[in-house]
């Protein structure tokens, strides 16, 4: 009994940590059904996707009593469009992603996909419809092929290679001595942050979800890697409803809609051009980041804290 209890408790700790970082939620849910905090509502139906319009309607949310985190958050991501969220650290950006994946239920208002309240659909169907490219992908101690194929159990080798090519990681993989059979993860080959993110992108391409949550890495990438990741993001976001949790403004300038969060509220919204013209918080953040870029010539760790 004790032996059984300890590992489960240990997994619980890991679960909570990973849940916090938005990393690899899909994997964890399959491993840890018993850890779910939220149950399907009796009579919940599978989510029916018709374009995947996402709506947050006047959402209030707190993790804990007496500390409200989101206040009247209200926005729509049109079917197939991209919305990026920016704001200072702690303003509530990642919380939006956690709520869309229904890690937690909102206290006021509602979140819908194609008009269906998340609380009325089965979680299995919800999580099937959403792909997440996390900041820091946790790889399985298995082959790189397995790690990509995880996005779609039963995928053929051709499909895996096509996804790896689209994520610009195929050439890297075939350059390794064991190719697609190379062991990765903690006990295998250590991949760089950018390589791990490409594995996550390949996995997501295989899964082919209607909705995508892209949690941009906070750690600085060199400008070449950043450009490559941006090109891939564009590729996977094409025709998918996408929520980008952004840490660098330069990466989201062409999003259809940018939401600026401050202390749990959306304080500005618009396109990059309209927000600059409005000369508010976004414009200040932009000027500060540009000044930093010029002085350092490369993105820095500080850029994460816009
Ligand atoms: P960053 O840019 O640093 O990732 P963020 O804008 O994504 O920040 P969130 O992670 O959404 O911010 O957090 C918003 C607020 O909610 C923070 O004040 C944070 O301390 C709090 N918070 C986040 N997760 C929890 C949790 N599990 N329990 C209690 N409070 C939490």
Low-confidence spans in the chain with pLDDT less than 50: 1-10, 13, 23, 28-35, 300-306
C-beta of 95 in contact with ligand 1 (< 6 A): yes
**What confidence score (pLDDT) does residue 82 get?**
94
* CA 245 and chain centroid, separation: 7
The per-residue pLDDT for 221 is 62
Q: Whose CA is nearest to atom 10 of ligand 1?
A: 94
Span from the CA of 264 to the centroid of ligand 1 (angstroms): 10
Q: pLDDT (tens digit, 9 = 90+) per residue, 122-170?
A: 999 998 899 988 877 888 889 999 999 988 888 999 999 999 998 889 9
Ligand 1 atom nearest to 95, measured from its CA: 11
ipTM for the assembly: 0.97
pLDDT digits (tens, 9 = 90+) for 295-304: 665 554 444 4
User: In the sheet where 116-117 sits, what is the strand order?
Assistant: 67-77, 54-64, 108-113, 116-117
Does the beta carbon of 69 lie inside 6 Å of ligand 1?
yes
Give me the pLDDT at residue 22, please: 53
Find all residues with CB under 8 Å of 215, minimum gap 6, and list them. Answer: 22, 94, 97, 132, 133, 134, 135, 245
Which atom number of ligand 1 is nearest to the Cα of residue 98?
A: 11
The pTM score is 0.83
CA distance 306 to 303: 6
- Whether ligand 1 lies within 6 angstroms of the CB of 134 is answered as no
For residue 11, CA distances in Å to 7, 31, 61, 260 come to 6, 9, 26, 35
Distance CA 146, CA 132 (A): 18
């Amino acid at each position: 009994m004790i032996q059984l209890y300890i590992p489960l408790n240990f997994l619980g700790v890991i679960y909570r940590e990973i849940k916090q970082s938005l990393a690899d939620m899909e994997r964890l849910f399959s491993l840890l059904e018993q850890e779910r905090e939220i149950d399907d509502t009796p009579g919940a139906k599978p989510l029916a996707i018709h374009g995947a319009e996402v709506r947050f309607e006047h959402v209030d949310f707190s993790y804990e009593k007496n500390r409200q985190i989101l206040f009247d958050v209200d926005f729509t991501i049109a079917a197939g469009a991209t919305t990026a969220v920016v704001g200072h650290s702690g303003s509530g950006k990642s919380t939006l992603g956690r709520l869309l994946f229904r890690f937690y239920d909102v206290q006021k208002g509602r979140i819908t996909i194609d008009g269906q309240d998340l609380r009325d659909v089965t979680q299995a169907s919800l999580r099937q419809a959403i792909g997440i490219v996390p900041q820091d992908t946790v790889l399985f101690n298995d082959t790189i092929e397995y790690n990509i194929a995880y996005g779609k159990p039963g995928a053929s080798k051709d499909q895996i290679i096509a996804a790896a090519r689209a994520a610009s990681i195929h050439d890297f993989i075939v350059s390794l001595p064991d190719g697609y059979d190379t062991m990765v993860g903690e006990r295998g080959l250590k991949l760089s942050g950018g390589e791990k993110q490409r594995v996550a992108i390949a996995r997501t391409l295989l899964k082919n979800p209607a909705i995508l949550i892209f949690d941009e890495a906070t750690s600085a990438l060199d400008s070449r890697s950043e450009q490559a990741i941006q090109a891939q993001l564009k590729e996977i976001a094409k025709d998918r409803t996408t929520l980008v949790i952004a840490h660098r403004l330069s990466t989201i300038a062409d999003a259809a809609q940018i939401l600026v969060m401050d202390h749990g509220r959306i304080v500005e919204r618009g396109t990059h051009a309209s927000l600059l013209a409005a000369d508010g918080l976004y414009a200040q953040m932009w000027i500060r980041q540009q000044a930093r870029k010029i002085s350092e010539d490369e993105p820095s760790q500080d850029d994460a804290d816009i």
